[in-house]
Chains A and B, each alone.
Chain A
Amino acid sequence: MILLTVITLVLPLAASQEPVAELDGKVIYTQSCALCHGEKGDGNGTAVFETPARSFVDGGFSFGNTPTALFNTISNGIGATPMPAFKGQLTDAEIKAVAARVLEFAPPVKKSDPLAAVLQVGERPQVIRGGLNAYHEKDAVIPRALVLGSLDGLSVELDTKTMGVLAFRRGDFVQRNDWGDRGGAMLEPLGELLMANEENENSWGFFSAEGFRDAEFRFIATEISEQQAKVAYRIIDSANSVEVAEVVEYFEIAKERYADADFVINQQIEITWISECDSSLFYGASYQAPSGWRVGRGLRLDQLELNRAYDFLYQYVQVKEDGTRSAEHDHE
Chain B
Amino acid sequence: MSSVGILLLAMCQTVEADHYSVEFLPTPLGETLEVGGIDFLSDGTMLLSTRRGRVWWVDNALADDMEQIDFHIFAEGLHEGLGLEVIDDEIYVMQRGELSQLIDIDGDQVCDRIEVVSQDWGMTGNYHEFAFGMPVDQQGNFYISTNVGFWSPEWWHGKAKAPRRGSILKVSPNGETSWFASGVRSPCGLGIDSQQRLLYTDNQGDWMPVCGLFDVEQDDFFGHPASLRWTAEYEFGAVEPSTTVAPKRQPKSAAIWIPYDWSRSTGNFVHDTTSGKFGPFRDQLFVAELTLGNVLRVMLENVQGVTQGAVVKFREGVGSAIRVRFAPDGSLFAGLTNRGWGGRAPGSGITRIRYRDVLPLEMSNISLRQDGFVIDLTKPIASIPAIEARSYDYNYWWDYGSPEMREKQLEIGDVQLSADGMQLVISNTELNAGRCVRMRLSGIGLLHDEFSYTINQLPQGELSLERVAKTVAPPAARTVAEEGDGWLTTTWGDPFDNWTADGWKLCSASLSSSDPSQFEINVGNSALVNTGPNATHFTSKDSYGDVEFRFSFMLPKGGDSGLYMMSRYELQLRDDSSCGAVIGSKNPRAQAYNGAGEWHIMRGRFLAPRFDADGKKTRNARFEDISIDYVSIIGAAECETVTGGAASEQEVAFAPMFFQATAGTVAIADVRLKPLD
Contact = CB atoms under 8 A, between A and B. Distances in A.
B340 A184 contact: no
A23 interface: no
Contact of B340 (A117, A181, A225): A181
B390 interface: no
Given A129-B79, A181-B508, A219 B51 contact: no
A119 B52 CA distance: 12
A130 interface: yes
B125 A129 contact: no
A141 interface: yes
Given A179-B340, A183-B51, A114 B30 contact: yes
A143 B339 contact: no
A197 B128 CA distance: 27
B78 A141 contact: no
Interface of A: 114-115, 117, 119, 126-131, 141-144, 160, 176-186, 219-225
Nearest to A161: B119
Given A115-B522, A180-B508, A180-B524, A144 B97 contact: yes
A111 to B, nearest CB: 14
A144 B112 contact: no
A320 B524 CA distance: 42
Contacts of B114: 127, 221-223
Contact of B77 (A119, A220, A221): A119
Given A119-B77, A222-B113, A222-B114, A179 B119 contact: no
B77 A179 contact: no
Contact of B112 (A119, A143, A225): A225
Nearest to A221: B115
Contacts of B116: 219-221
B362 interface: no
A225 B113 CA distance: 9
A223 B100 CA distance: 13
Given A129-B98, A180-B523, A143 B113 contact: no
Contacts of B339: 179, 182-183
B98 A143 contact: no
A179 B130 CA distance: 11
5 closest A-B pairs by CB: A184-B127, A141-B125, A143-B123, A128-B77, A129-B79
A130 B16 CA distance: 42
10 contacts: A143-B124, A179-B53, A179-B340, A180-B524, A181-B526, A182-B128, A183-B339, A222-B114, A223-B112, A224-B113
Interface in B418-454: none
A141 B52 CA distance: 20
B52 A179 contact: yes
Interface residues of B, number: 41
B457 interface: no
Contacts of B80: 178-179
Contacts of A179: 34, 51-53, 80, 339-340, 523
Interface string B496-527: 00000000010110000000000001111110
Contacts of A117: 52, 523
Nearest to A133: B125
A55 to B, nearest CB: 32
A202 to B, nearest CB: 18
Nearest to A233: B116
A183 B340 contact: yes
B95 interface: yes
A39 B195 CA distance: 75
B77 A127 contact: yes
Nearest to B95: A129
Contacts of A143: 97, 123-125, 129
Interface in B72-121: 76-80, 95-98, 105, 112-116, 119
Most buried by A among B77, B80, B125, B525: B77
Interface string B117-141: 0010001111111100000000000
B32 to A, nearest CB: 8
B525 A180 contact: yes
Contacts of A131: 79, 123, 125
Contact of A177 (B34, B505, B521, B523): B523
A181 B524 contact: yes
B186 to A, nearest CB: 12
B335 to A, nearest CB: 14
A144 B128 contact: no
Contacts of B98: 129, 144
Nearest to A126: B77
B113 A221 contact: yes
Given A144-B98, A222-B114, A182 B124 contact: no
Nearest to B97: A144
B126 A220 contact: no
A143 to B, nearest CB: 4
A227 B98 CA distance: 25
A238 to B, nearest CB: 15
B53 A129 contact: yes
A185 B97 CA distance: 14
Contacts of B79: 129-131, 144, 178
Nearest to B525: A181
B125 A115 contact: no
A186 B53 contact: no
B218 to A, nearest CB: 25
Contacts of A129: 53, 77-79, 95, 97-98
Most buried by A among B76, B97, B128: B97
B147 to A, nearest CB: 10
A184 B53 contact: no
A269 B257 CA distance: 54
A182 B126 CA distance: 11
A33 B523 CA distance: 40
Nearest to A132: B125
Interface string B338-366: 01110000000000000000000000000
Given A179-B523, A222-B114, A144 B123 contact: yes
Contacts of A220: 115-116
A128 B521 CA distance: 26
A185 B128 CA distance: 10
Contacts of B52: 117, 176, 179
B113 A160 contact: no
Most buried by A among B34, B78, B79: B79
A180 B53 contact: no
Contacts of B525: 180-181
A143 B508 CA distance: 25
Contacts of A225: 112
Given A179-B80, A181-B340, A219-B116, 16 more contacts: A114-B30, A115-B505, A117-B523, A119-B77, A126-B77, A127-B77, A130-B53, A141-B125, A144-B123, A178-B79, A179-B34, A181-B524, A185-B127, A219-B119, A222-B113, A223-B112
A178 B54 CA distance: 13
A182 B77 contact: no
A182 B522 CA distance: 13
A184 B148 CA distance: 13
Contacts of A184: 96, 125-129
B78 A160 contact: no
B27 to A, nearest CB: 15
Contacts of B508: 180-181
A258 B30 CA distance: 45
Nearest to B78: A129
Nearest to A134: B125
A141 B526 CA distance: 23
Nearest to A184: B127
